[in-house]
Amino acid sequence: MKKFKHILAACLTGVVMSSCSDSFLKLAPVSNPNAETFFKTKADFDLASNAAYATLYTIYNPEGPISYMGELMGDNVTILNISGNMADKWQFRDYTLAPANTMVYQFWQDFYRSLYNINIVISKVETSELEAASKDKIKGEMMFLRALYYFNMVQIWGDLPLVTAPITAAESYGVLRSPASEVYAQIVKDLQFAADKLPLASAAGVGKASKGAAQSLLGKVYLTMGDKTKAANTLKEVVNSGQYQLLPNYTSLWDPKNKNTKESIFEIQFLGGSSTAPFSDYYLGFFPNSNALGFYGSGMNQVVDDIWNEYETGDSRRVASIDTGFTDAKGVFTKVKFPKKWQDKTAPIIGQRIAANNNFMVLRYADVLLMLTEATGDAQYLNQVRKRVGLPEYGTAAYPSKYNSIELATEHERRVELAFEFHRWFDLKRTNRALTVLPSKGKAVTQAKLLIPIPNVVRDQNSKITQNAGY
Amino acid sequence: MKSFLSLKYLRYFCFIFLSFCFVQVFGQSKVISVKGKILDEAGKPVPGVSVVLKSTTTGTISNQDGLYSLPVPEDAILVFSSVSYESQEIAINKRSVIDVTLMPSNKILNEVVVVGYGTQSKRAVTGAVASINNKQFQDRSFSNVAQSLAGQVAGVNISQAQGAPGSSPFIKIRGVSSITAGTNPLLVVDGVPLENFNLNMINPQDIESVEVLKDASSAAIYGSRGSSGVIIVTTKLGKVGKTNVSANFEYGSQKVTRQIKMMDAQQFIRTYIDAKNNAWIDAGGKATDGNALRPTLLKIPEDFLTNPQQFGTGTNWQDVMFRVAPSYNGQISVSGGTEKTQYMFSGAYLDQTAVLDMNYYKRLALRSNIKTAVTDRLTVGLNLGVTTIFDRTEGTKGKSDVISLGLQSNPHFPVYNENGNLGYRDPNSTWFRFTAFGDMNLWHPYSLTREVDKGTKSFNTLGTAYLEYNILKNLKFRTSLSANLFNTRNHFYWNDKQKYGYSAVLAAQANAGNSYMLNWLSENTLTYDKQIGDHSFTGLVGYTSQKQRDETMYVAANNFPNDLVHTLNAGTVTAGNTTASEWSLLSYIARLQYNYNSRYFLTAAIRRDGMSRFGDNNKWGYFPSVSAGWLISDEAFMSDIKSINNLKLRVSYGVTGNNQIPNYGAISLLAASNYVYGGTMSNGLRVSNIANPNLKWEKTNMFNIGLDLGILNNRLSGSIEYYNSLTRDMLLFVPVPDITGFSSQLTNIGQMRNRGIELNISSKNVVGNFNWTTDFNFSRNRNKVLQLGPGNAPIQYVDNVVTVRTEVGQPVSNFYGYIFDGVFKNQAEIDAYPHHASTTPGDPKVRDVNGDGKITDADRTIIGNNQPDFIAGMTNTLSYKGFEFSFMLQGSYGGEIANNNIRYLGTWDNGRNFYASMYNYWRSESDPGDGIHFKPNVSYKGLQKQFSSYWVEDASFLRMKNIRLSYAIPSKLLNKIACKSARVYVNAENVFILTKYKDGYDPENTTYGTTTYSSSMETSGSYTSGNAPVPGAFQGVDYGSYPLPRVITVGIKADF
């Protein structure tokens, strides 16, 4: 019996010893960083704001929301064969969008996921121990991005759930659509902060949002809100800052060797040459849906003859912007028009994709100049843009007579100057020309269809979210 | 491995060592002579009873008068055993005369059943446990023992989702108990609980028995991992007696007997032309217009119009990729033992060629099980299984894998072009003319099978070392240490240009991967048996700890100079990464089994589990259970009712859990999201999921009541069960509003119920020289979601367009879409019925479900569910002398299957081939076709690409699962060759199937696996697999699958 006691004691000790090990159960992830210890240092916030900038890759993707809205719903392009759910993609082109459209939901998710990445930095930096200057710069950059996204979203959907800080799932059910005016108020507030706190382009750092970027965007926001005076004042500050100028050669604007030029105001940064770096997908995305050349084009934004014909005789921008076909391995030429601006002839093909190095300009000085003409009615800004490509100035006899008002001249100039840069549909909407221009190009568009539907998944989850009229 | 060296384990091993020191050898005692008479119930003497001194081989046999005598130590124990009687053990206690009355054995009740942490006689089972022994699957040609359970066990739905060699079946025990957490049952191999273990690693012929713990009281001893049921696999151990050498050889032949009927070249060309013309006519053109007038998308190859006959019937790509494939399987095992030591050694080799070109499956399995009594008190043992699998398996990954791509390929292309190349992209071939059309499709199967060098090598070692020590006569201590070490390596090399057979002409590329898993388990239990009069008790307490680490590695390369060297050193490495992930589990267990007079049984158990996966606030959970049994037929008042041999009532209630969530599901993780500044890449980190420190166990409470009955001398026996289970705090990736920045969050929410009945009947229809038995089982399960997340919002997942929706009041994962009521035959029909704006004659007629006169999203409704209304199986066995013939029917009724391939093959999809079944489509008002298939159209009309009843088919089936014929060679023939017994047999699996599923290979096909969370998903920050957001929710969605071949095997088995 004594023996038994010994064994039992040994046994129990064994049990007790091993059980004193809550640490045995507390396992931290081995291959993932863990959010619990994050958002403390300046380095943490740099990493987090880099991730916020990286959301630009999604939003401004060649198959992202701005591309679909800016070009496909306009009159510059079409899509034929395209990979993925073709029927849903055609709905944008044809103005037959249904709330069940999977792309519409995808875009909704893209925007709000991106906004989370921005909002969390803003809210965490607020309470951090970073010095005030660092705080302001980080906040300013993030608010620029937030304004950029909400500005696009409010034009796409109208009234929106306005989320400006991380919210829990439970809280989210109470966040319904705010009127568009409130969304615009938030955009203006964010951009004013950014314009106030961010340094000039020369001091902001390559690729970072700058004072000029905030002001340029704010100018566009004012134009869209219909306040031409404020727009003109804000845009003139950009001109007067002396930070920007037009490049002499239009074609070189997208040259991968010629990034972040004096004309560029806000530019999305890519790095070509390797599958591990974020390379530029634009040329590939717009290449016809073919793999004749060893890479797989997506077939997005195929150029229609309507814009081909919009270019004036002798406008070099047409050749710079539109490719007219490609030659396959056997030397057979296929005639098809597609956007050319982001071609990188030296890029390697990696896994059926071209690892191109071109950047993408969200805002550039030509856009600012044309907006200034739109805001002031003064053709001098527009004429700077025309002079670069050697076309006759507005107001001279050689100027094409069919654009017989400064409004039509601006519309024409914006279309060809900014072709395929995701501006067209937004421009037509802003100038209230969409319902005149688009139906004449065979688009079944109505006032209601100028806003896309709220995805039905969103309303299935929260029935208090309203639907746009017409869906 | 670090933990092994920690102080804790040092102490642990010291403790084991000490245990040895306490071992004491029994002293010698005086030898006396014992004699006696052995009688049966009626008082008649029983001759031939073996009387053996326990734990020795010394003994004697009773004579004609039932008398025996032998010299024995005065304190020894005698074991009395005979075939038709229950064995008895009697302590001598210095007596010299011991008379014994033997009771006839009730075989069924005395079969031993393995339960968690011990065994029980069937008599004492109070829960719902199904047991299958080796004899029931010994001749079946399966690599995975779970496959042989299909159709044999009520309440267990085993479906073979993919027919590739080595593909594990999906096992669902009593329905689905979770929506987004894993639903795989826990596998326990020789006492080692293993999550997501691949049972192919255990050679089925090494397995003695498989037990399925179905109810919560049986499974609760496995606590947190029991809610999807538990499957216990026990490997063989030799029996006391002469060494047995057993050899077995099989040859098999596999064939795909059910091809999907695809259009031939002529049908395809006509459909292709019609699809283009229909679109062109819609756009205002005429069918007769030439290509010059048409947009690119609507141009038609001139060959199709001017001379389609040149293509003949074209190529049936299924004939190209499938072949009749042989398999060889051989094994030898040696088993035997003495009272002290038992052993079983085996080696088996399976060499299976797959029906799919170039695919194969080879397995070498070695096993050594040994157990020895070091002293009367101390027993040690080691079970060690080492398995190596070399395989190449393709075609199971769905739409972009070989088989599906073969179906999608155009039939007018030849197997080889005039240059001996595979495809039309060959620039030196006349076929190159087709590259001018963007909608020609060819993924030549050979470009993926013969132009690719790939394979997987897996190595698994599963070992359990144990020590049992009888501290007191009734008190046993057992400790065991187990390890499962799994390594797998795969390589892939794709030849340059693929002989132009693929959809693109690609440069050579290669990759290699490696994964490693180590799972170790330490278990310590104390068992105490006590008999006080008619009361008998068994108590168990234990403590276990288990930990697993997974690691992965991946490297990719391109830029190979030529195809001579396929290893990555020949190219330039372009990508590589490694990951690791861990989990750990600590458990306390306790169980008390009580019975009174072997007639009233009571079991109570509790397990306390703590696991690393759960939130800091809720790591621990309790899992209690209680069950009772009453053997009514042993009651005195039943003794007059001779016709009832066995009647037993069982009732149980218990709580089990589910822990199958990602390892770090409770923690907010960061994922890489990099950005570039001025030509330099800068690292970025984003939050990839929301933390939930309150994350806790999903729990299932289950009530079970069962009745066992045996009548007419057990000629007819059976059981019936009813269960009702409620799962709560479901571990759910709840879709949350996207405005949070996330689309789902892992949280405990919602309730779901499963209830059902199970019926087993076994009948000996004819006994004698000719025997005929029938075993039948039937089960039905009803699943209903009772509560979901905030506002009970339905949970919806979409893959392509196939939508599965889970909502309150419905079974989990309904198919959700439009209802198609055939085809609009003419404009008048369209005008008379609500229709989608784009509709023209010949387009689908979509039902206006809500009756609002419009066709909108709101007209989507429930159009099916994969869960069957009931499943059943029946096995008939007939035997005469040495012959035995059996056949098994397996059926499933009332489920639906969603055919996601309709996207590619059932509608126009950029020129892919079509199902032959749709050829009778609407062509004109005067040629309206079968009224089901709408006209093909390049520009889709009327929601034909939306998920609808057109995509959903009845998945009910009746399958002749197995036919078997064996012949035992008479022993007089065998004696000459020193052979104890030998059998030859023929076995056929998947003989035929009756099903309405016409456009798929098999109604059991499911492209996505059950939900599991792998470590690679962790590190990518996304818990998705393929296109399906939650694979388990897409059970019953066929998005390209591997057919189940018919397998015919002949074999011989001999014992020496």
Least CB-CB distance to A269: which of B438, B668, B675? B675
Q: Looking at residue B28, what is its pLDDT?
A: 47
* Average pLDDT value for residue range B225-237: 91
Strands B475-494 and B509-532: antiparallel
Query: What is A355-367 written as a DSSP string?
Result: -B---EEEEEHHH
Which residues of chain B neighbour A108 with C-beta distances below 8 Å? 738
**Helical segments of A309-402, H only:** 317-321, 365-376, 379-388
Least CB-CB distance to A51: which of B547, B685, B946? B685
Is A468 a domain residue? yes
Query: Does one domain contain both A46 and A126?
Result: yes
First-last CA distance in chain A: 84
Give the number of C-alpha atoms closer than 13 A to the C-alpha of residue A233, restricted to the C-beta side: 4
- CA torsion sign for A358, A364, A365, A367 is positive
Q: Looking at residue B66, what is its pLDDT?
A: 84
**Among B38-42, B273-277, B303-307, B565-569, which is the least confidently predicted range?**
B38-42
Cβ distance B138 to B206 under 8 Å?
no
Is A246 a domain residue? yes
C-alpha–C-alpha distance, residues B547 and B472, integer Å: 32
**What's the complex ipTM?**
0.90
B534: pLDDT strictly greater than 70: yes
Is A191 a domain residue? no
Q: Which of A343, A358, A373 is the last residue of a domain?
A: A358
Query: Does one domain contain both A366 and A390?
Result: yes
Cβ distance B690 to A53 under 8 Å?
no
Amino acid at B291: N
B326 CB near a chain A CB, below 8 Å? no
B558 CB near a chain A CB, below 8 Å? yes
C-alpha–C-alpha distance, residues B723 and B129, integer Å: 13
Q: Looking at residue B7, what is its pLDDT?
A: 44
789-818 of B, contacting A, C-beta below 8 A: 790-791, 793-794, 796, 798, 800-801
Is A18 a domain residue? no
Query: What is each CA distance from A208 to A39, A136, A214, A235, in whole angstroms?
Result: 20, 14, 11, 19
Scanning the structure block, which residue is given the tokens 């974020």?
Answer: A278
Q: Looking at residue B89, what is its pLDDT?
A: 80
Q: Looking at residue B159, what is its pLDDT?
A: 87
Query: Does one domain contain both A171 and A74?
Result: yes
Report helix, strand or coil for B950. Answer: helix
Query: Does one domain contain both A71 and A173?
Result: yes
Give the bridge partners for B418, in sequence order: none
Q: Looking at residue B799, what is its pLDDT?
A: 82
Which residues of chain B neighbour A271 with C-beta distances below 8 Å? 676, 679-681
Residue by residue, what is the 3-state secondary structure of B975-1009? HHHCCCEEEEEEEEEEEEEEECCCCCCCCCCCCCC
Q: Which residue of chain A comes nearest to B23, CA vs CA?
A: A3
B1029: pLDDT strictly greater than 80: no
Cβ distance A152 to A171 under 8 Å?
no
Q: What H or E segment, with its residue span, contains residue A392?
A: none
Least CB-CB distance to B667: which of A21, A29, A86? A29
Query: Does one domain contain both A351 and A373?
Result: no
Choose, out of A287, A459, A461, the residue to mutate when testing the contact with B (most B CBs < 10 Å).
A461
Q: Looking at residue B23, what is its pLDDT?
A: 38
Diameter of chain B measured on Cα atoms: 113
Q: How much of chain A is in helix, strand and coil states, percent to nearest 5?
A: 50, 10, 40
Q: Looking at residue B1049, what is its pLDDT?
A: 94
**Helical segments of A158-227, H only:** 169-172, 180-197, 201-204, 211-225
C-alpha–C-alpha distance, residues B485 and A154, integer Å: 56
Give the number of C-alpha atoms closer than 13 A to the C-alpha of residue B338, restricted to the C-beta side: 9
Which residues of chain B neighbour A258 with C-beta distances below 8 Å? none
The C-alpha of B967 sits at a distance from chain A's nearest C-alpha, in angstroms, of 54
First-last CA distance in chain B: 44
Backbone angles phi, psi at A63, to 5 degrees: -110, 30
C-alpha–C-alpha distance, residues B937 and A286, integer Å: 25
Contact A206 B677 (CB under 8 A): yes
B562 CB near a chain A CB, below 8 Å? no
C-alpha–C-alpha distance, residues B35 and B96, integer Å: 6
Q: Which residue of chain B comes nearest to A113, CA vs CA?
A: B741
If one counts every other C-beta atom within 10 angstroms of the C-beta of residue B970, the result is: 12
Q: How far is CA B112 from the centre of its chain?
A: 25
Q: How far is CA A330 from the centre of its chain?
A: 38
C-alpha–C-alpha distance, residues B123 and A349, integer Å: 70
Q: Looking at residue B1014, what is its pLDDT?
A: 52
The C-alpha of B616 sits at a distance from chain A's nearest C-alpha, in angstroms, of 8
CATH number of B109-236: 2.170.130.10
Give per-residue pLDDT as tens, B179-221: 878 888 999 999 999 988 888 999 999 999 999 999 888 888 8
Q: Looking at residue B932, what is its pLDDT?
A: 94
Q: Looking at residue B116, what is its pLDDT?
A: 84
Name the nearest CA neighbour of B955 among B1039, B866, B1040.
B866
Contact B798 A102 (CB under 8 A): yes
Query: Does one domain contain both A243 and A168?
Result: no
Residues comprising chain B, all counted:
1056
Contact B668 A34 (CB under 8 A): yes
CATH 2.60.40.1120 placement within chain B: 2-105
Contact A167 B586 (CB under 8 A): no
CATH number of B2-105: 2.60.40.1120
C-alpha–C-alpha distance, residues A115 and A107, integer Å: 12
Q: What H or E segment, with its residue span, contains residue B826?
A: none
Q: Looking at residue B77, what is its pLDDT?
A: 82
Least CB-CB distance to A117: which of B435, B686, B745? B686
Scanning the structure block, which residue is given the tokens 């022994």?
Answer: B133
Query: Does one domain contain both A56 and A160?
Result: yes
Q: Which residue of chain B comes nearest to A259, CA vs CA?
A: B678
The C-alpha of B193 sits at a distance from chain A's nearest C-alpha, in angstroms, of 18
**Helical segments of B613-707, H only:** none
B733: pLDDT strictly greater than 90: no
Query: Does one domain contain both A255 and A333?
Result: no
Query: What is A100-117 written as a DSSP string?
Result: T-HHHHHHHHHHHHHHHH
- pLDDT, chain B, mean: 88
Which residues of chain A neighbour B690 with C-beta distances below 8 Å? 169
* Average pLDDT value for residue range B507-536: 93
The C-alpha of A268 sits at a distance from chain B's nearest C-alpha, in angstroms, of 9
Name the nearest CA neighbour of B604 among B656, B653, B649.
B653
Least CB-CB distance to A328: which of B24, B296, B435? B435
447-506 of B, contacting A, C-beta below 8 A: 469, 471-472, 475, 477, 503-506
B1: pLDDT strictly greater than 60: no
Least CB-CB distance to A166: which of B670, B741, B745? B741
Name the nearest CA neighbour of A326 among B507, B911, B435, B912.
B435
Strands B844-846 and B85-91: unpaired
Give per-residue pLDDT as tens, B377-394: 999 999 999 999 999 999
Give per-residue pLDDT as tens, B292-341: 898 888 999 999 999 999 999 999 999 999 999 999 999 999 999 898 99
Number of domains in chain A: 3
- CA torsion sign for B720, B726, B731, B733 is positive
Cβ distance B867 to B784 under 8 Å?
no
C-alpha–C-alpha distance, residues B805 and B785, integer Å: 11
Is A321 a domain residue? yes
Query: Does one domain contain both A336 and A469?
Result: no
Query: Does one domain contain both A291 and A417?
Result: no
The C-alpha of B664 sits at a distance from chain A's nearest C-alpha, in angstroms, of 6
Query: How many beta-carbon pairs under 8 angstroms link A with B?
Result: 295
What's the CATH number where A251 sits? 1.25.40.390
Cβ distance B963 to B988 under 8 Å?
yes
Structure-block tokens of residue B798: 């979409």
C-alpha–C-alpha distance, residues B490 and A390, integer Å: 61
Residue by residue, what is the 3-state secondary structure of B519-548? EEEEEEEEEEEEEECCEEEEEEEEEEEEEE
If one counts every other C-beta atom within 10 angstroms of the C-beta of residue B225, the result is: 29
Report helix, strand or coil for B90. Answer: strand
* Average pLDDT value for residue range B248-264: 95
* Average pLDDT value for residue range B747-762: 92
Query: What is A117-164 written as a DSSP string?
Result: HHHHHHHHHHTS---HHHHHHHHHHHHHHHHHHHHHHHHHHSSEE---
Contact B545 A167 (CB under 8 A): no
The C-alpha of B1040 sits at a distance from chain A's nearest C-alpha, in angstroms, of 17
Strands B452-470 and B378-392: antiparallel
Contact A458 B738 (CB under 8 A): yes
Report helix, strand or coil for B631. Answer: strand
904-963 of B, contacting A, C-beta below 8 A: 910, 939-940, 945-946
Cβ distance A375 to A232 under 8 Å?
yes
Give the bridge partners for A266, in sequence order: A363
Q: Looking at residue A21, what is its pLDDT?
A: 59
The C-alpha of B613 sits at a distance from chain A's nearest C-alpha, in angstroms, of 8
Structure-block tokens of residue A383: 């004429």
Least CB-CB distance to B675: which of A53, A81, A288? A53
CATH 2.170.130.10 placement within chain B: 109-236
B610 CB near a chain A CB, below 8 Å? yes
Cβ distance B283 to B939 under 8 Å?
yes
Structure-block tokens of residue A83: 């990979």
Contact B670 A462 (CB under 8 A): no
B15: pLDDT strictly greater than 60: no
- CA torsion sign for B554, B558, B560, B564 is positive
B720 CB near a chain A CB, below 8 Å? no
Is A390 a domain residue? yes
Strands B31-39 and B100-101: parallel
Which residues of chain A neighbour B796 with C-beta distances below 8 Å? 457, 460
Which residues of chain B neighbour A22 with C-beta distances below 8 Å? 610, 619
Contact B667 A14 (CB under 8 A): no
Query: Does one domain contain both A296 and A340?
Result: yes
* Average pLDDT value for residue range B654-660: 90
Non-local CB neighbours of A462 within 8 Å, separated by 6+ positions = A172, A173, A176, B737, B791, B793
Query: Does one domain contain both A421 and A448?
Result: no
User: Which residues of chain A register pLDDT less than 70?
Assistant: 1-21
Strands B1037-1038 and B896-899: parallel
B742 CB near a chain A CB, below 8 Å? yes
Confidence tier at B1017 by pLDDT (50, 70, 90): very low
Residues comprising chain A, all counted:
471
- CA torsion sign for A305, A311, A317, A319 is positive
Non-local CB neighbours of A311 within 8 Å, separated by 6+ positions = A317, A318, A416
Q: Looking at residue B356, what is its pLDDT?
A: 97
Report helix, strand or coil for A25. Answer: helix
Domain around A148: 40-179+444-471
